[in-house]
Chain A
Amino acid sequence: MGCSSSLPDRNAGRLGSLNNGNSMVTDSKNLRVKLVLLGDSGVGKSCIVLRFVRGQFDPTSKVTVGASFLSQTLALQDSTTVKFEIWDTAGQERYAALAPLYYRGAAVAVVVYDITSPESFVKAKYWVKELQKHANPDIVMALVGNKADLHENRSVSVQDAQDYAEKNGMFFIETSAKTADNINQLFEEIAKRLPRTTSSS
């Protein structure tokens, strides 16, 4: 166990004053994007992010910030950049009801499960339904099967996950935070799918 966590958003209209539209800030070339991570505890949510954030620029450096909020900028081939602001959420069951506070206003939701744990896949489907009901309707969703390196213990088939993702209009990928497999691909693919409202002034 270890690397994992996920939390919700602030949909449930507390004060309605907190900026709603700031999840994605565009100056046409540089996007700033709020990405929320959801998934059972133990599936490796935060390991994926640590891999993504540390792995890219300086793999030897120790992070000097918290592991629950991280940001990382991706430079894309078309010379635009996407700055991901990654909001981790606590994955334990007792905190599930708090998730809406976190996914409110998010432009991207990454729902993670562990390919060796069918329960975590059930939980992932629960999050997808929650997001469909309560999140921003334009949210880009990705379904991520983590711990792909443990394929000898696999209990969620690629086909099942793929089918589920397709049915729900999600992008699907299997990753290994341990070997770094597909980690950058995950974020690059998300970046490509972001709506580019070229509302440049």
Chain B
Amino acid sequence: MDSSSAFSQPNFYDFLNRMRHPASADLVRAIKSFIVSFSFHTTDAENDSRKLQDFLVTMESTIKEHPLWAHASHEEIDSAVEGLEKYVMTKLFNRTFASSPEDVKADLYISEKIRLLQHFVRPDHLDVPRVLRNEASWLFAAKELQKINSFKVPREKLLCIMNCCRIINNLLLNISMSTNYVPAGADDFLPVLIYVTIKANPPQLHSNLKFIQLFRRQSKLVSEVEYYLTNLISAETFITNINASSLSMEESEFQENMQSAKIANEETVTGHSSVLQLSEDDATTMRRHGKEIHVNLEGCLYPFMGSEAKELTTEDVQQLLRLYQQVVTRYTMLTKALARLSLHEEQLLHIMKDPAGSTELKKEIEKRIHEGAK
């Protein structure tokens, strides 16, 4: 891969040093007022993106003309603009990253889905040729993707993606050199990348991709970098939409796999969150009984139902938040599932009051699931 131009390490300290120079007072003022200007507007990713992109373009020409950069090479100018992007985006990170409830929801949805897919998706399901299978290399590639949240700057997040793709490409290259395997370009690359993405379950995948697309300097999102970013976007799209046919599975087999994955994951979750409240014995029982838990041990699962706000400790708040997140995620998924069955929550609750109604309902739901599967 072309590593020289796109990913040479810009010297951030050099940028900061120049900014401390008295001659750069005008630049410093421009940067400060740009950052402050964000506080006058409500968060809007698209708008913020446009503002940032325009600002970087303007500043690039200002820097080119600036006495501090007189006789500077193209690389030095470029490095300065990289430094500027890093400085500004670090300041604006909290405002611009995963800023809308939709983004948060999309992140949760995809990571929950991957947590299920991890249980049963195999390289065969994605057309990864046998000769390419190399779990060790895949692990390294997955590690690169998992690092993505260690960085706040679009360029550095993008670098994690490029490193992941580079490792996959090296694997493909080594195999084609050491065997008779004829490299098949994207036919090989994309399936491996999707598999690695499922293995990695990178944190906040949706928000990270969106953030890079909106806030990486546009003139840097071209050519090879744009190609590999597009590949990860397409991996995300593929995973979001995965169904039985995209894995060449029978619908019933797919549903069964998803179901058992859900049960397996639930057991792990309950195991963690309830240990605090239960004695050793109770906790073991809970894990063993898996599914019944939610009905019978509501009190243990949601231990704060009878609490008063003033009783809560800091640790309680952390746990409360975690439970809250689990509950909201689950509730969102259930609402979606109901909508897919064309059922309304109130309708469901109403019917549940009447024991006879629930038998009817069960039949009706089975019918709709069956229809949906066709």
Contact = CB atoms under 8 A, between A and B. Distances in A.
Interface of A: 1-8, 10, 14-19, 22, 37, 41-42, 45-47, 49-50, 62-69, 71, 85, 87-92, 94-95, 97-98, 101-102
Contact of B234 (A7, A18, A42): A7
Interface in B212-259: 213-214, 218, 221-224, 226-228, 230-231, 233-234, 237-238, 241, 245-248
Given A88-B185, A91-B187, 19 more contacts: A3-B184, A5-B188, A8-B234, A18-B221, A19-B218, A41-B187, A45-B187, A46-B187, A50-B183, A65-B169, A66-B172, A67-B188, A67-B189, A68-B189, A85-B227, A87-B227, A88-B186, A90-B189, A90-B190
A2 B228 contact: no
B80 to A, nearest CB: 22
Contact of A94 (B182, B227, B248): B248
Contacts of A37: 185-186
A178 to B, nearest CB: 10
A92 B169 contact: no
B234 A98 contact: yes
Contacts of B276: none
For chain B, give the interface size range.
Answer: 35 or more
A49 to B, nearest CB: 7
Contacts of B176: 67
Contacts of B223: 69, 71, 85
A2 B238 CA distance: 23
6 residue pairs, one from A and one from B, having the closest CB atoms: A46-B185, A2-B182, A5-B187, A66-B169, A5-B186, A88-B186
Nearest to B235: A98
Given A15-B214, A18-B226, A63-B173, A3 B191 contact: no
Contact of A46 (B186, B213, B227, B247): B186
Contacts of B183: 2-3, 46, 50, 67
Contacts of A41: 127, 184, 187
